[in-house]
Structure 1
Amino acid sequence: MLETPETPKQPRFNEDFGGRRLAFRSLVEARSAALLPGTPNPLSARIAQDVGFEALYLTGAGLTNTNLGLPDLGLITANDVIDMTARISDVCTLPLIVDMDTGFGNALNAYHTVRQLERAGASAIQIEDQIFPKKCGHFAGKAVVPVEEMLGKLKACLDARRDPNTSIIARTDSRAVEGFEAALDRAYKMSEVGADIVFVEAPRSIEEIRAIGGLPKPQLINLVVGGQTPMLGLEELRDAGFSLVLYANAALQASIKAIQDVLTSLHTHGSLAEVEGQLATFVERQRLVGKPEIDTLSERYRGA
């Protein structure tokens, strides 16, 4: 009797999103400065899971840069983010935090977007208080909506959840616009409304970082190479009380540099001989995209 190949343990669309959300809440509650890598597409998400991270972050900036080849200036749509959330959730089993920028409109738009992102597999959804269209958090010339408008949008996001374990992250960019004390005040108000996690973007000193760490709700900090926030070590951030440490575009910046180096060498030398050691092997590339599991499926369904 022929043996039947085992069914591959592949993540399938809409598989145990509730379990992922509970895992993310546990990660946040530990307040252990868990690292979040930015993953703008399914391949980078699979690599991050393979490396051993516990959760992922779908970055709006990375999605814009990768999919459109344009800067982070509010040029992506809600559908772009929803589609990529589903694509990543389909091939990774880790909790996925999704950056939905300003919610793509008013409070009703934010409500509708949360519903769709939750169905697509988001474990946590982040909304910010910039005007629409927004700008990268480390760009100059940002502007924020009145705090009352932001609180209304935040309430809409909280009400929109069908799963109470879906976390809502409230981000303020007011540090660059109104100063640090005003940003801290907004963060307190967002905590009082019910945000699960607060995110004060682009603090500019160690003292500011420590003050954010004292907020009553769990906090996220975003570290950007070349940005405005001091690049503190993980132990310092853990001691300051942060739950999550985001490196939103480290993988993207690394891939840009690698592509530049390899293609420059190819253009200069006419071959890859000088940089072959910088390339993933053919076998490794197929492993990362799950070809062995697909081969097993193909064998299973080939017929008698």
Structure 2
Amino acid sequence: MHGRQQLAKTVEESGIAVVPGVYDGISARLVEQQGFASGFLSGAGVSNSRLAQPDVGFLTLPDVADQSREIADAVDIPIWVDADTGYGNAVSVHRTVRRLADAGAAAVMIEDQEWPKRCGHMAGKSVIPFDEAVAKIEAATDARDEHAPDVLLKARTDATEPLGLEEAIERLNAFADAGADVVFADALRSEEDIRRVAAEVDAPLSVNMGFGVRSRPTTPLIPAARLEEIGVDVVIYPRLITAAATAGMKRALAELETAVETPEEYEAPDAVVDWDYYTDLIGKPAVDDLEARFATDED
């Protein structure tokens, strides 16, 4: 079972679906190795890691499709893909869903911000009109049903900040009526807001817990168990791995500076993973097996 069916089963099963963010093949492999059932390809993570740019609309469909294809090829777990606004109007959304399905996405998320979009937890967001937002989800649903029935559709609204919580709830219910499998209101400001959305939206609900292991000034950090009690079905942690990788790289470079400045042999084994572990992670044993299978006398 793959894609939409597998993810839908995960969402419907008892217990909240916990989905860490990924941004490349290694991060996705680590999520899979740790035993998580799926990963979320974060647009912010791709923009930050691939472009060294903030999440303010620099990514294009080819960027995201290429990254999705490489990640989907690297792991067996399904990958949710952040498709921002769909990179245009409703017709563009239709094409985006088809392209990302072809690239191996198990789920595609479309949001209702104006372009250029920005990270949902940045100031200055604006959203497109209600009817236009719903039309985009209808286009995404149509593309899914005609071209990629195994793809799960997640619909996101950023309306809370500019237009208020009631508008966000109205949009989420309209997105569900338009065919979205899962809905998501980003940057909710309190646990009470999350409780209200869960109570008033008639669809599986996803929320964003950012780093997951430290708080931030927008949505409060809430344990997954309490989110489940509130009525949340899916929780994503899109910022965790990029922030953790940055912390790890900074530490390793600081250790390298120490090693360079120290005349004696200097080791900091805790700053890096073991060589055998790393080569296993990147699939070297599988390549070795292929080389052995297809070796010739001339090799």
TM-score, normalising length from structure 1? 0.91
CA distance in structure 2 between the partners assigned to 1:227 and 1:283 by the alignment: 40
1:256 aligns with 2:246: yes
Q: 1:55 aligns with which of 31, 35, 38?
A: 38
Are the equivalent residues in 2 in contact too, given 1:73–1:136 (CA < 8 A)? yes
Residue 22 of structure 1: how far off its partner (Å): 1.7
Are the equivalent residues in 1 in contact too, given 2:3–2:107 (CA < 8 A)? no
CA distance in structure 2 between the partners assigned to 1:168 and 1:19 by the alignment: 14
User: Gapped runs of 5+ residues in structure 2?
Assistant: none
Deviation per residue, 1:194-233 (Å, 9 max, x gap)? 2110000011111111112222110111012425111111
Are the equivalent residues in 2 in contact too, given 1:204–1:229 (CA < 8 A)? yes
Question: Which deviates more, 255-264 or 267-276?
Answer: 267-276
CA distance in structure 2 between the partners assigned to 1:95 and 1:273 by the alignment: 41
CA distance in structure 2 between the partners assigned to 1:172 and 1:273 by the alignment: 51
Percent identity, please: 36
Compared CA separation, residues 165 and 300, structure 1 to 2 (3 A): same
User: Gapped runs of 5+ residues in structure 1?
Assistant: 1-17
What is the SS of the residue equivalent to 2:86? coil
CA distance in structure 1 between the partners assigned to 2:88 and 2:109 by the alignment: 14
Within 5 Å, give how 1:7-46 maps onto structure 2.
19-30=2-13, 32-46=15-29
Residue 20 of structure 1: how far off its partner (Å): 3.4
Compared CA separation, residues 227 and 168, structure 1 to 2 (3 A): farther
What is the SS of the residue equivalent to 1:81? helix
* Map of 1:280 onto structure 2: 273
CA distance in structure 1 between the partners assigned to 2:217 and 2:71 by the alignment: 27
* Map of 2:183 onto structure 1: 198
Compared CA separation, residues 274 and 177, structure 1 to 2 (3 A): farther
CA distance in structure 1 between the partners assigned to 2:25 and 2:71 by the alignment: 5
Residue 261 of structure 1: how far off its partner (Å): 1.4
What root-mean-square deviation, in Å, do the aligned CA atoms of Structure 1 and Structure 2 show? 1.4
What is the SS of the residue equivalent to 2:154? strand
Are the equivalent residues in 2 in contact too, given 1:31–1:218 (CA < 8 A)? no
* Map of 1:135 onto structure 2: 118
Are the equivalent residues in 2 in contact too, given 1:32–1:242 (CA < 8 A)? no
CA distance in structure 2 between the partners assigned to 1:274 and 1:135 by the alignment: 42
TM-score, normalising length from structure 2? 0.92
Q: Which has the higher contact order (CA 8 A, sep 6+)?
A: 1
Deviation per residue, 1:9-53 (Å, 9 max, x gap)? xxxxxxxxx623321110011252111010011110011111111
CA distance in structure 1 between the partners assigned to 2:258 and 2:22 by the alignment: 31
1:217 aligns with 2:203: yes
Are the equivalent residues in 1 in contact too, given 2:98–2:148 (CA < 8 A)? no
Q: 2:288 aligns with which of 289, 295, 298?
A: 295
* Map of 1:240 onto structure 2: 230
* Map of 2:98 onto structure 1: 115
Spell out structure 1 runs of 4+ moving beyond 4 A. Answer: none
Counterpart code for 1:241: G
* Map of 1:15 onto structure 2: none
